[in-house]
A = this chain, B = another copy of it.
Amino acid sequence: MPKNIAAFGEVMMRLQVPGYELLSQGNTLNYSFSGTGVNVISALARFGHNGHLITRLPANPLGDAAAAYLRKLGITSTLMSRGGSYIGMYFLENGFGVRSSRVTYSNRLESSFNTSPEGTYDYEAIAEQIDAVHFCGITLAMNEVVRQHMKSLARAVKQRGGTVIFDCNYRPSHWGENGYEKAKPHYEEMLQLADIVMMNEKDAMLTLGMSTDKVEREEQLEELIPAVAQQYGIHTIAGTHRSIHSDNSHSLRGFIFKDRTFTYSKTLTFAVYDRIGAGDAFASGVIHGELEGYPVEKTAQYAATAGMLAHTVVGDTPMASAEDILRTMTQSVGDVER
């Protein structure tokens, strides 16, 4: 049954040099609009849910373009507000092989979203309309005003029995010096409110300051994640382990910790077209499986496959339908569908 799901987060304009040129070689850019919330909600809309985005866009041609783009992705715009002057932007130069992709940000701290004044969002009214809400650690890093919106909304949803989802998603460059220290109390507050959390053992060690004697990633994971779940009272914790190979292919394996048990997806290895946004696709798969009551094995495999497919499409935002994902879970490498 379709649910009403919202994400609270910033819409970023992605300005990408086409092909493999550098900004100092080319003269054209492709633009689109994305963000963790955009990606997760768009994927959930594609899975059949009513997906809302709680955000703020400028009332100018860039805001109009963003709103049109989000509608095209299938996102319902009734919870968006308009105001402020700017939209966050990032420029993307595609890497090739050993040459990394490069992201260059504009000054997003003054974006419409990051300057949304008190009273911008009616937490109670929103909480009444939705079954679940998604937040992410990138938003938590922005500034105190945004953090207040975030926590107030999470509390309102939790109080009304809605599901609170939190993706840890720690980006060192956003928190600056002594970032883990600064971030920890805010992360703890969100974890206490959250029902479903996206994280892995690195988040536990770095952001929450936990420690382990184990060396192998999987052993660390299996020691630390149950402790996190218990300490913060989290229902479901999920995440991925990824590795990048020298031939431009990646491997990805998802896990879900729930009811004191770890469930793993198969390790998927595949060629990668676009390196951004696969974590959001994995998260959308976990949320969909949880909301639909899938068996946890199916959810793990569905989420991992959603993450894999997101690497094969243009742009940050997953484009696969539930049918696409389920078909890919069973079929062999594809040729031409006629």
Chain A residues with a Cβ under 8 A of chain B: 15, 18-25, 27-32, 60-62, 64-65, 67-69, 71-74, 85-86, 89, 91, 93, 95-107, 110, 171, 173, 244-249, 269-273, 275-276, 308-309, 311-315, 319, 328, 332-338
Picked from B104, B269, B338, the residue with its CB within 8 Å of the CB of A62 is B104
Q: Given the known A-B contacts A85-B107, A106-B89, A249-B247, are A24 and B273 also in contact in the complex, defined by CB atoms under 8 Å?
A: no
A58 CB to nearest B CB, Å: 9
- Residues in B with CB closer than 8 Å to A308 are 98
Q: Given the known A-B contacts A244-B335, A313-B20, A334-B101, are A107 and B86 also in contact in the complex, defined by CB atoms under 8 Å?
A: yes
24 contacts between A and B (CB under 8 A): A18-B28, A22-B64, A22-B65, A24-B61, A24-B72, A27-B31, A28-B30, A29-B30, A68-B72, A85-B107, A95-B312, A95-B334, A95-B335, A96-B271, A98-B271, A98-B309, A98-B312, A102-B336, A103-B338, A106-B106, A106-B107, A244-B332, A246-B270, A247-B247
A314 touches B20 (CB 8 A): yes
Q: Given the known A-B contacts A23-B61, A28-B30, A72-B72, are A103 and B271 also in contact in the complex, defined by CB atoms under 8 Å?
A: no
Residue of B nearest to A338 (CB): B103
B106 touches A333 (CB 8 A): no
- Residues in B with CB closer than 8 Å to A95 are 312, 334-336
Cα distance A114–B243 in the bound complex, in angstroms:
42
B29 touches A15 (CB 8 A): yes
Cα distance A32–B27 in the bound complex, in angstroms:
7
| A27-B31, A68-B74, A86-B106 given; 7 more Cβ-contact pairs under 8 Å | A20-B314, A21-B313, A24-B64, A68-B73, A100-B335, A107-B110, A275-B335
- Residues in B with CB closer than 8 Å to A68 are 24, 72-74
Cα distance A87–B252 in the bound complex, in angstroms:
37
- Residues in B with CB closer than 8 Å to A62 are 23, 91, 104
A279 CB to nearest B CB, Å: 12
